[in-house]
Structures are given as C-alpha cells and as structure tokens.
Structure 1
Amino acid sequence: MPWFVWVLTAAALGVAEFLTLTVVFGLLAGAALVAAVVAGVGIGLLGQLVALGVAAAAGLLIVRPVALRHMAQAPLSREGSDALIGKRAEVMQEVTASRGLIKISGEEWSARALDENLVIPVGAVVDVMGIEGATAVVYPRELLP
C-alpha cells in the first residue's frame, strides 16, 4: 500500500498549498501523485523516488515560472466603479472638499475635490482620481503635472 502513503502526502501538500497559495506545494502534491501512480504500477521505492524527483523538478523548473508570470499580470480591464478612475468628467455643480456633482460618461455622480482647499467651478474638466463609496474624488485637469 505505498501508493496510499503517496496519496496522503499529496493531500497534505494540497492542504498546505491551499493555506499558503505559493504554487510550490501544489506542484509537489502533483509530484506525489505521480509517485503514487508509479507505486500503484508496482515499481519499487527507488523508482517512486525517481518519479517524485523528476515530476517535482519539472514542475518547479517549467510550470512554476509560467504560473508566477501569469499571476503577476494585472487584470486586462477594470470593472464597476474602478473603471471610472482616470476618466475625464465635467463639473455640473461646483465641487468642493465636501460636495459637488460631475458627469462621467453620461452619468451624474456626486463628487468631492481631492484637495480640501480647491473649489472647482461649473464647466471645468476634471480627472477622477478615486471612488469612495458613491462619490468620485476629482482633481482639475489644468492643475495636473
């Protein structure tokens, strides 16, 4: 029943991967499953260890760099209110540090100025610097560097 020991090892490594999200434990769990298959076929301990080593090396040297590169990529598009950050808007009602109204992509949003000392007049063009709840935090385009 050596294959069962390899399956238990793979399960323990799978749990460790779930808790750490490092990719390494998941790849080692896969290697342990390869060793379980080799053990199930009837190959001895030396063959099982060689299979474990080859599968682990292949995973760590080939699969891990690809997975890390994929995980490091930024999402291709932003969704919801996050998609409004960086957009231009027009001031519909004077914007101060505490209140105001802007029009972004045809929609009216409550707004406040990023700088507490700014008063942005009606008709000014602003950039959306952030979203706090249902309020856009804006800054005038002409003051941007």
Structure 2
Amino acid sequence: MGDWIGENLWALWLTLAVALAVVEVLVLDLIFLMLAAGSAAALATALAGGDPWLQIAVFAAVSLLMLVVVRPTALQHLKKGAPGELTNADALPGRTVQVLEDTTFTSGLVKVDGEVWTARAPEGQTIPAGSTAEIETVDGATLRVAAQPEIDWDAGRSA
C-alpha cells in the first residue's frame, strides 16, 4: 500500500485540491482556495515526476505565496465599495414603503423593493393601507415606520 501511495502521490494531491475547493465553497473565506491552489501546484509537480519532498515544498511555497500575496488582494476586490456605503438592512432607514395593511403599534405589513416586511407604527397611530410611510429603524425583521404627510391636491379648489 505504501508503495502505491508513493508511486501515485498525484492522486493524493488531486483529492486534497478537490476537497479544499469544496470546503472553500462552504466557508467562502478564500483560505482553503489558496491551499487548493498549492495542492494543484503539487499535483503538477507530481505529474511532472518531481520527488515527494519537492511536491511538499511546492505545496508549502505556493500555498504561503497565495495566502500572503493573492488573498489580501482578492479580498480587497471582493469587498469593493465606497467607504461608508450602507448595505442590506443598514440602507433601509429613510426609505419610503407602501403600506399593505393597516399598520399599528402591534401589527402591519409594508412592501419595500418588492419585498413584504412586518411593520409597526408609533404607539397610538394607525397608518392606513394604501398609504406610504417612511422607515425609521429596523428591528430584526420588523420595520418601524412613520406615516408620511399626504398632500390633498384638491383642497382649496372649488368645483
């Protein structure tokens, strides 16, 4: 068995590269992907007839190089965005929503960007269905909203 592994070390490197790539897909941290690249380089060394010590040295060198040089640059590109740019729930306060059902301090539904959220109005207020409201805060999966003043365009007009 030991002779077979020694003669077919490429199979170990291939298995390790694939396993590390699968783990990377699960954790999305770019660490295992860098180690998979080292395994792929060791696989190439094994297929080229390199000695086992050389394969291990290539694995270590390429993995270290990828972790130190490539990973920080890749992370920088992945996290590209304007400094202070708000995303996800942090970007919701101040946005206008469509009220889907009467919203009170204890119940309500609103729609923002095509998504339906539970909503709550300030205590003692009811925001009627069909009106618009503004998101004040996000509390878990519930939006705290306040009614927007409505303009009566027909007020003051005589018929």
TM-score normalised to structure 2 length:
0.54
Report 1:81-96 matches (<5 A).
85-88=93-96, 96=104
Secondary structure of residue in 1 paired with 2:60: helix
Q: Which runs of 4+ in 1 moved over 6 A?
A: 74-79, 99-102
Compare CA radii of gyration and give the structure with the larger one. Answer: 2
The number of residue pairs the alignment matches comes to 132
Q: C-alpha displacement at 1:99, in angstroms?
A: 7.0
Aligned partners of 1:90 and 1:16: how far apart in 2? Answer: 42
CA distance in structure 2 between the aligned counterparts of 1:32 and 1:100, rounded to whole angstroms = 54
Corresponding residue SS for 2:134: strand
Aligned-partner Cα distance in 1 for 2:12–2:97: 62
2:17 maps to amino acid: A
Alignment-mate amino acid for residue 94 of structure 2: G
| Aligned AA (2:14) | V
Change in 2 beyond 3 A, CA 1:140/1:70? farther
Please list, as runs of the form range in 1=range in 2, the aligned pairs for 1:29-108 lying within 5 A after superposition: 29-72=36-79, 85-88=93-96, 96-97=104-105
1:9/1:121 Cα in 2 relative to 1: closer, same or farther (>3 Å)?
Answer: closer
Q: Distance in 1 between matches of 2:30 and 2:78?
A: 10
Residue matched to 2:125: 119
Report the equivalent of 1:128: 135
Q: Counterpart of 1:127 in 2: which secondary structure?
A: strand
18, 23, 36: which one aligns with 1:16: 23
Gaps of 5+ in 2: 1-7, 149-159
Deviation at 1:72, TM superposition (A): 4.3
Question: How far off its partner does 1:57 sit?
Answer: 1.2
**Aligned residue for 2:155?**
none
Other structure's SS at 1:139 match: strand
Cα deviation digits, residues 30-74 of structure 1 (max 9, x gap): 110111001111122232122212210121012222333344457
Counterpart contact for 1:90–1:126, Cα < 8 Å = yes
Tell me if the contact between 2:21 and 2:33 (Cα under 8 Å) persists in the aligned partners. Answer: yes
Q: From the superposition, tell whether residues 53 and 97 of structure 1 become closer, same or farther in structure 2 (CA, over 3 Å).
A: same
